[in-house]
Amino acid sequence: MESKILTTKTGSRAIGSELPETMRAWVLGGPEELTLIDKPMPTPGRAEVLVRIDAVAICATDLEILSYGTPALIEGGAPFNKNFTPGHEYMGTVAALGPGVDEFEVGDRVTVEIHAGCGQCKRCRMGMYTSCHNYGLNYGDRDKGHRANGFTTDGGFAEYAVNNINTMIRVPDAMSDEEATLVVTAGTSMYGLTELGGLVAGESVVVIGPGPIGLLAVAVAKALGASPVILVGTRESRNEIGRQLGADHVIDARSEDVVARVKELTGKGADYVVDCAGVETTVNQAVHMTNRGGRICLAAFPKSAVSFDLGALAVNNIYLYGIRGEGKSATHRAMAFMEAGRFDASLVHTHTFALEDLPTALKYARERIDDAIKVVVSNQPGITGGAKEK
Ligand SMILES: [Zn+2]
Ligand SMILES: [Zn+2]
């Protein structure tokens, strides 16, 4: 990871009338090239606010964007060399209001979801705004009102960002900045279970893959009353967090026959499976561990074609769903669980670094240094960086 720091001035923490004219922001040059620069302060439009970013979590999708560009889409193409600021899992403080906004006040603590759909296409009208047909169509003389900060518009590796009011969730006083950055991840897990449909209380859920979305899917499934909740993973440090978040059983994929073990634990197989890995082995495991009439959610984006037992899916009347992001206001439902203390999402947060140290933070996330899971970059003063205090 190459990076240059062009500015050394102390960061701005201003809100309201004290706002400076520029802010510090990381921008993407070519692949893997991030530079910290001064950018003009963005201005919120109608139904938008300016958010002072207090903390932003690093997601596997950020790492993908830095390497390959996709799924970011800027001005109809790859996001490279377009003065684009990535980062999408952030929280902060309302710093200014756009015209007509009375839903929030300057000083409110908020966390954000990613997608502000256009509000006019067929999918947005169904609440599926993460599947908006106008994704990325906001440049030149087109203005569809769509934003996906950190994907199609400037994101959170900066001091400030503009957000549509529909993407904002109030943060309770007692919740830490770091935990609040995890609401969108928990919301994605929630959306996966929402799309699978039905009440999961008393039904079995298997989660394959203990990354942040998988671990929080365990937590959300447990909070929804699923029983048993089974986690399939390989890294013991992550499996242990899965137990703490509510997994009734953990299957070690390295030493156990995963499908046989799920059948042993559930009788006829799992009612719901959330596959957060999306590779040939796990997709086939998912198909073979699901009981007749059961449901599978793919919560990963495989990079190439995956071969799987389609016949077993058809003959067993199994339903297969993809999900994209955190639609249908799932973040608000995830926040309700987190505010009520139904699970401790902060267990997946492992490290915090200062905004200036973003390249180090990205390296920790990418290489899983020191068993890193969720690495957070903070704009709060005095952050020295490293592992979370236990
Ligand atoms: Zn993400
Ligand atoms: Zn739309």
* Residue 277: closest CA among 221, 210, 229: 210
- The rounded Å distance from CA 269 to ligand 1 centre is 30
- The rounded Å distance from CA 132 to ligand 2 centre is 4
- The rounded Å distance from CA 282 to ligand 2 centre is 32
Cis check for the bond before 40: say yes or no (omega within 30 of 0). Answer: no
pLDDT at 10: 52
- The rounded Å distance from CA 124 to ligand 2 centre is 4
pLDDT at 111: 98
Ligand nearest to the CA of 127: 2
pLDDT-flagged residues of the chain (< 70): 1-10, 390
- The rounded Å distance from CA 57 to ligand 2 centre is 26
pLDDT at 158: 98
Ligand 1 (ion): residues with CB under 5 Å are 59, 61
Torsion of CA 383, 387, 389, 390, to 10 degrees: 160
- The rounded Å distance from CA 131 to ligand 2 centre is 7
- The rounded Å distance from CA 381 to ligand 1 centre is 25
- Taking the C-alpha atoms of residue 259 and residue 273, their distance in angstroms, rounded to an integer, is 12
- The rounded Å distance from CA 175 to ligand 2 centre is 32
pLDDT digits (tens, 9 = 90+) for 258-279: 999 999 999 999 999 999 999 9
- The rounded Å distance from CA 129 to ligand 2 centre is 6
Ligand nearest to the CA of 90: 1
pLDDT digits (tens, 9 = 90+) for 104-156: 999 999 999 999 999 999 999 999 999 999 999 888 888 888 999 999 999 99
- Taking the C-alpha atoms of residue 79 and residue 257, their distance in angstroms, rounded to an integer, is 42
pLDDT at 24: 96
- The rounded Å distance from CA 101 to ligand 1 centre is 27
- The rounded Å distance from CA 167 to ligand 2 centre is 14
Q: Do residues 181 and 90 lie in contact, with contact meaning Cβ atoms separated by under 8 Å? A: yes
Q: Which residue carries 């893997």 as its tokens?
A: 32
- The rounded Å distance from CA 114 to ligand 2 centre is 14
pLDDT at 236: 94
Q: Do residues 29 and 80 lie in contact, with contact meaning Cβ atoms separated by under 8 Å? A: yes
Question: Which domains occur in the chain, in start order?
Answer: 2-114+149-171+344-387 (3.90.180.10), 193-322 (3.40.50.720)
What secondary structure does DSSP assign to 256-275, as a single string?
A: S-HHHHHHHHHSS-EEEEEE
pLDDT at 390: 61
Ligand nearest to the CA of 120: 2
Name, in order, each residue with C-beta under 8 angstroms of 347's C-beta and a sequence gap of 6 or more.
Answer: 215, 241, 244, 245
- The rounded Å distance from CA 277 to ligand 1 centre is 15
- The rounded Å distance from CA 88 to ligand 1 centre is 6
- The rounded Å distance from CA 337 to ligand 2 centre is 28
Ligand nearest to the CA of 65: 1
pTM of the predicted structure, to 2 decimals: 0.94
Q: Name the region of 5 (left: φ>0; alpha: ψ -120 to 50; beta: rest).
A: beta
- The rounded Å distance from CA 170 to ligand 2 centre is 24
Ligand nearest to the CA of 128: 2
- The rounded Å distance from CA 62 to ligand 1 centre is 7
Q: Which two tokens stand for residue 249?
A: 């059983």
pLDDT at 189: 96
- The rounded Å distance from CA 164 to ligand 2 centre is 14
Q: Do residues 295 and 319 lie in contact, with contact meaning Cβ atoms separated by under 8 Å? A: yes
- The rounded Å distance from CA 291 to ligand 1 centre is 30
Ligand nearest to the CA of 135: 2
- Taking the C-alpha atoms of residue 11 and residue 41, their distance in angstroms, rounded to an integer, is 13
Ligand nearest to the CA of 184: 1
CA-atom Rg of the chain in angstroms = 21
- Taking the C-alpha atoms of residue 234 and residue 279, their distance in angstroms, rounded to an integer, is 14
pLDDT at 335: 98
Ligand nearest to the CA of 124: 2
